[in-house]
A and B are shown apart, each in its own frame.
Chain A
Amino acid sequence: MEVDIKKIDAILEEHGLEKRWLIPSLLAIQNTYNYLPPEAMQRVSERMQVPMIQVYQVASFYKAFSMEPRGKHIVTVCMGTACHVRGAERLVDQVGRVIGIKPGETSTDYQFTLETVNCLGTCALGPVMVVDGKYYGNMNASKVDRVLNRYMKREGEAHG
């Protein structure tokens, strides 16, 4: 995706240019591009007058940030304790098998990224996964196909 400097400037302007707005601004940029494009980080550094090394340090410290492009659909599987005792490991294995990638990876066609997280706060319904912001509770291996199929099909339809 082409990075539009004007868009980055608008985000920065909206938040403010003091250093305390660095993390919120980076989160907003990531929401727009699904990752932190290098050009965007460069622009942030210039406009906020924060050395590039510090922007990079923040981007690499916080796990919410990705410096690699991510897939169109983001699948997040909770590996928190409550989900762990209810079989999160099996869930993530199964999701990985269905979309053919391991946690932390993006499929080569950039359709899916599989991520894990330490708790989504819906522990009562564990194991839990989220696809593009929609929560799926009480998951098990047999439900995985059904849920993910929806996202794959949508793809198929879009391309005719």
Chain B
Amino acid sequence: MSGKITGISGPVVTTDMQGLKLNEKVSVGCGKLTGEAIRIEKAQAVIQVYEDTRGVGLHEPVTATGMPLHVRLGPGMLSEMYDGLQRPLERLLAEQGPFLIAGKEVDVLDYSRTWKHVPLKSEGDTLLQGEFFGYVEEGSFRHYLAYPTSSQSSRGDGKRPSKRRIASIKEGAFTLGEPLGTLDDGTEFFAWHDWPVRIPKPFKKKATSNEPLITGQRSIDLMFPIARGGTAVMPGGFGTGKTVLEQSIAKYADVDIVIYVGCGERGNEMADLIEEFRVLSDPWASKPLMERTVLVVNTSNMPVAAREASIYTAVTIAEYYRDMGFHVLLLADSLSRWAEAMREISASLEEMPGEEGYPTYLSSRLAGFFERAGVVETISGRNGSLTMILSVSPAGADFTEPVTQACLRATGASLILDTSLAYSRHYPAINWNQSYSLYTTELSEYFKEKVAEQWPALQVRCREILQKEESLKEVIEIIGVSGLQDDDRLLITIAEKIRTELLSQNAFSDDAFSPPEKTFSIMERIIRFYDMAESRLKNGEPLEDVLKEGGTAV
């Protein structure tokens, strides 16, 4: 099937081609740019082009591929860096040099690499869709290979997918180009399969989790904990520390697999991240960090439409690992750039704009994306989780703008990054008054049992101290700290300790990673000191003496 280009505007191309399907992948122009059909009308189809359309001309050919925009899932993705369309950037570099040239097709997976297949099934066994037939060892991971489900039935409800018998299955060394076996109807199956990015991978059912995802950041784990399978956003103006926080979490989070999306942000940051991840090791499993990481990178100067796709590419890869029973963490920096990409495309389509020019489907798209997080029982009967922690970059650091608002409505935890905290070099600049986590209560049992009985109680006290400090602030502004009563001065001193010793964490020091035990012991030390100091004050000792052992007066 093919047609011709009839119009071009920014990343959007119209064609006279008939018979396209919605979301079908197409090849556009003489340069064979990748595109996706996003609107189909009687006489024409509208295509979103994922590469720079400069130089594309009228009447150039458009060809259908018969497939929806998809990712290829299989062994070898770990430690890769892909662009928004899952093109491996390292291999592109080797093939075309340091600059990205449009229209280049490169294999997503490495077909020259040899793997060792260990079958879990044998000839004559039945094979259900979504069931594992074998595995390969990928680094320290057991990478399970599933017979793919059909993407038509995206819900894992009652309708059992069809059942097949294995006619032959291969064992031992193979490369990805070879089939690993055949079914009784003659179809071959491989170690990889394709999956349309815009369709969530199916699962049996969703579950709730009372287990936290430990991030190693005290102000998160202690004050605003995130549940496995949960969603968290961190909105903050420029320079408030979103990227540093995302990257710190990528390094230290207690998860199996990390998918990191650099969405419309800086190239230098990605260079930095790769350099670091190559040398650092996973604090939970002592192996190189890169081995548990997949990067999806579409920097701000790469094509805008591919930025839109990058989030879907990443979440589909994340679901793939979730289905093997892994705990997966999806980090994206920044979701706002994704929303802006949608806005640019929507403008080229001349759609009726909603608030601030964003398309009216902004919040439903965002909500649909967040829904792909969760703890699930997989089709193969395992338990996996997909947690999302996403940065948001509000225009003018104004949190009332539509993207921030849509995110706040749809996610479970919100870590508000504060410009004034960042200016005073308090990092991470998480505002302790405005941030919240809806998971706090359900996770407190876990911390009580696994870390310390006192965890929730002391956490509440820290909060109270910070709140009291806040209410004293106005008074201080009028009379100065020295005008306060001694007990209030003590409280201010303790609050400062909580802020600087407990909540602050320098990402470039040894303190960058704080396991829960360390977090607890810092908190306990501060509160114990407070209790001691308070009782000595009551006994009439002067504040200066009381503070001598454990900190100076403010």
Q: Do A and B bind each other?
A: no
